[in-house]
Amino acid sequence: MTSKQRAKLRKLGNTMEAIIFIGVNGITDAVVKETYDALEKRELIKCSVQENSSLDAKEACNELCEKVYAEPIQVIGRKFILYKESRNHKTIDLDNL
């Protein structure tokens, strides 16, 4: 992924609401499944780490990226943006950003 593509994904992600929330239990199997499913449908998602979580956003982002094979796009405060090209539903054309 080029830096220009990454910048466009950051811009798209900044306007999104978080749809994955990581709480006190951290990265559970349920969170991994929800994240994987959301990325298959949308390709780009925003996640939020709740204040009561033992993980910070960077740790949570790295762990989720490893488990769902996604790319980290941006980490800001308690939120982070992930991207994973969907095999089934192409929603973002990186070549035309």
Task: Report domain extents, the chain.
Answer: 3-87
Mean pLDDT of the chain: 91
pLDDT at position 39 is 94
Q: 17-40: per-residue pLDDT in tens?
A: 999 999 999 999 999 999 999 999
Helix 57-68 and helix 29-42: axis angle, to 10°?
70
CATH, domain range 3-87: 3.30.110.60
What does the alpha-carbon distance between residue 64 and residue 72 come to, in Å, rounded to a whole number? Answer: 9
Contact between 16 and 44 (Cβ < 8 Å): yes
What order of strands is seen across the sheet that includes strand 44-49?
20-22, 44-49, 79-83, 71-76
Amino acid at 70: A
pTM of the predicted model, to two decimals? Answer: 0.88
Mean pLDDT of 64-81: 96
With a cut of 70, say whether residue 97 has pLDDT above it.
Answer: no
DSSP 16: S
pLDDT confidence bin for 92, thresholds 50/70/90: confident
With a cut of 70, say whether residue 89 has pLDDT above it.
Answer: no
Mean pLDDT of 59-88: 94
With a cut of 80, say whether residue 71 has pLDDT above it.
Answer: yes
